[in-house]
Structure 1
Amino acid sequence: MIKKLPRLLIYIVIFFVVMGGSAYLSLRFLFGSADTVTAPDLVGKDVVYVLQTLSAMGLNTKVAGMRYHPTIPENSVVSQDPEPGREIKKDRDVRIILSSGPETLSMPSLVGSDLRRARIWIEDNGMNLAWITRVYDDALPDTILAQEPLPPDSVARGAEVRLLVSQGKRPKAMIMPDFSGLNPEDAMLLAERWGFKVNDVRAVNKVDQPPGVVVDQYPAMGYRILEGQGIELTVNRPKPNDNQSIGRSQGPGFVSFRVPPGFLKSHMELKVSVGGGLQVLYDEYVSPGTRLWFLLPDKDGEFFLFRDGRIIKQSREIFFYGRLKK
């Protein structure tokens, strides 16, 4: 009997420990939850709503900072800590970051500047170039004439910018002259005098037409054409004689080359091999996109066209007739 007493005491102790733990957990479950609340979703809510809501829940409001936001209004919540849905004890801080609204800047005056500079400013400042309207004006081409928004309005980053841009003076309208029967050099001179751009000169072989003269043109004679508009000429090129050596040209002629687009000028050179050496016929720095017409002298030799020191065209054959056209 005496030996069984310690074992009985152990059972009694274990019983009370288990019962005490169960009672503690039950009381904590029933009454302890009254000291915790679920964090509400405050993002997008204005600060007055936040203060009222957190105060009613027994929580403290702590503004941790301000931040620009493109869509959330000023003095509304951008973010919060703890996150919505988390359990937190009463009388704890809820940290919020408020919106300062969209970031704004003062719109400068772009009027009078060129379009390229305006594009750079618009892109660097996060603006959106919505549209460009071009009109004839005495100002240089690509000069900005008007803008919206107006300076010095405050505008949000990402706002649309609209520009009115000059496309230069209104070109004169005239009647297309007749180039037929002219030799190529006279035709090029006439086109230059009238203010036309010769975009292309084609060679054909027509036995029923005089050799070495213009036999066709576009636009046709009598059509309305604007000053500076491009035209095309077709020249009747005679076949070489059977006894003529291959590559030997007949009379003066020209080659055409368009400088590739880009940002920097190209160093263009035209040279002809004469007497074992190279004679320079043309040596200029040319803007991107320019079409060059090179008049080749009546010489038997090989012609080399260089761009920035590299050969890009080499020929013993003269393709067309004409003169240099910048």
Structure 2
Amino acid sequence: MSLIKFLTSKTFFLNVLLAVVAVFVVSYLMLRWLDATTNHGEFETVPDLTGKSIDMAKMELEHNHLVLQIQDSANFNPDYPKFSVIEQDPKPGFKVKEDRKIYITLNPSGYRKVLVPELEERTFRQAKPTLEALGFAVGKVDYVDNIGKDMVLKMTHEGKEIKPGDMLPKTSKIDLILGNGNRPGE
């Protein structure tokens, strides 16, 4: 049988018709199966978890058929309670599928600790921006007799002397004792 006779035969057209029908039937069945397994068109609204404790956030997400996933702790934010949610992804109000993971960022229990820098024998003009860049605040500044005017002689925190390498919570106030430019005993 020649190729042209085969392509124009009744058997060939019947096989092509059956193949086209099979593709449509399989496609239709696949779409119905996807609709059933993916809950097409069914969404949950993401609740606002900001400021809530971990337990409250978990209960609220379970109520909405969503899954809690703790992503990380951020820098301490004094505007929120300790261990509360300060950020979430996706944002509140978004429509998501059931069992979707909601990633949250928690407020740690306090500011992270920062290494106290070496400031002795540096001027106040150098010390102040160094402390502020690390997140510390300059507290009380006292002067004592020393020939080095405005030179840092000692650092204290809450009345206790601190040394370079000590760890203090970020935003701590560090008091400085500086030289006043006078020789001791004058």
**TM-score band (shorter)?**
0.5 to 0.7
The amino acid across from 1:141 in the alignment is: K
Matched, 1:47 2:54: yes
Q: Who is 1:95 aligned against? A: 103
The amino acid across from 2:101 in the alignment is: D
Q: Who is 1:62 aligned against? A: 69
Q: Distance in 2 between matches of 1:62 and 1:121?
A: 37
After superposition, residues 94-113 of structure 1 pair within 5 angstroms as: 94-100=102-108, 101-108=110-117, 110-113=119-122
> Structure 1, unaligned stretches of length 5 or more?
1-31, 173-326
Which structure has the greater CA radius of gyration? 1
Q: Who is 1:163 aligned against? A: 176
Matched, 1:83 2:96: no
Deviation at 1:105, TM superposition (A): 0.5
Q: Of Structure 1 and Structure 2, which has the larger fraction of its residues in strand?
A: 1
Q: Who is 1:154 aligned against? A: 168
Q: Who is 1:286 aligned against? A: none
Q: What percentage of aligned pairs have identical amino acids?
A: 24
After superposition, residues 296-315 of structure 1 pair within 5 angstroms as: none
Q: Who is 1:132 aligned against? A: 141
Q: Distance in 2 between matches of 1:121 and 1:94?
A: 39
1:107–1:155 contact (8 Å) kept in structure 2: no
Q: Distance in 1 between matches of 2:133 and 2:91?
A: 35
1:70–1:103 contact (8 Å) kept in structure 2: no
| Runs (4+) off by over 4 Å | none
The amino acid across from 1:147 in the alignment is: M
> Structure 2, unaligned stretches of length 5 or more?
1-38
After superposition, residues 1-40 of structure 1 pair within 5 angstroms as: 36-40=43-47
CA RMSD of aligned residues (A): 3.1
Q: Of Structure 1 and Structure 2, which has the larger fraction of its residues in helix?
A: 2
After superposition, residues 278-289 of structure 1 pair within 5 angstroms as: none
The one-character-per-residue Cα deviations of 1:205-251 (angstroms, maximum 9, x if unpaired) are xxxxxxxxxxxxxxxxxxxxxxxxxxxxxxxxxxxxxxxxxxxxxxx
After superposition, residues 99-248 of structure 1 pair within 5 angstroms as: 99-100=107-108, 101-108=110-117, 110-135=119-144, 137-138=145-146, 140-149=148-157, 150-151=162-163, 152-156=166-170, 158-167=171-180, 168-169=182-183
* Structure possessing the higher relative contact order (Cα contacts under 8 Å, 6 or more residues apart): 2
TM-score normalised by the chain length of structure 2? 0.57
Q: Distance in 2 between matches of 1:70 and 1:107?
A: 21
